[in-house]
Homo-oligomer: A and B are copies of this chain.
């Protein structure tokens, strides 16, 4: 089963990549952007979904400085990705 792990810096932890993006966007003409965070996206096929949390704690995520959440695109019954479009209704 395909799984998707979203890893992001914990609140209060320095996020230099996010800062860099936030500063670069106005220079490119994009205004109105705030609170940018850059983290990691891990996608993988797992035979046993119950193991995924342990994988995150032991390898994929540094729980001292990162939070994570898990998505199961197939189990959710529809695509979670809006694609490169404006938000749906």
Contact = CB atoms under 8 A, between A and B. Distances in A.
Interface residues of A, number: 59
A13 interface: no
Contacts of A87: 1, 3, 49, 72, 74-75
Contact of A31 (B34, B47, B86): B47
A40 B36 CA distance: 13
21 contacts: A1-B87, A4-B6, A8-B41, A25-B55, A28-B59, A30-B51, A30-B54, A30-B59, A32-B47, A32-B51, A33-B44, A35-B44, A36-B44, A37-B44, A38-B42, A70-B81, A70-B82, A70-B83, A71-B80, A72-B88, A75-B87
Interface of A: 1, 3-4, 6-8, 21-22, 24-25, 28, 30-56, 58-60, 68-72, 74-76, 80-89
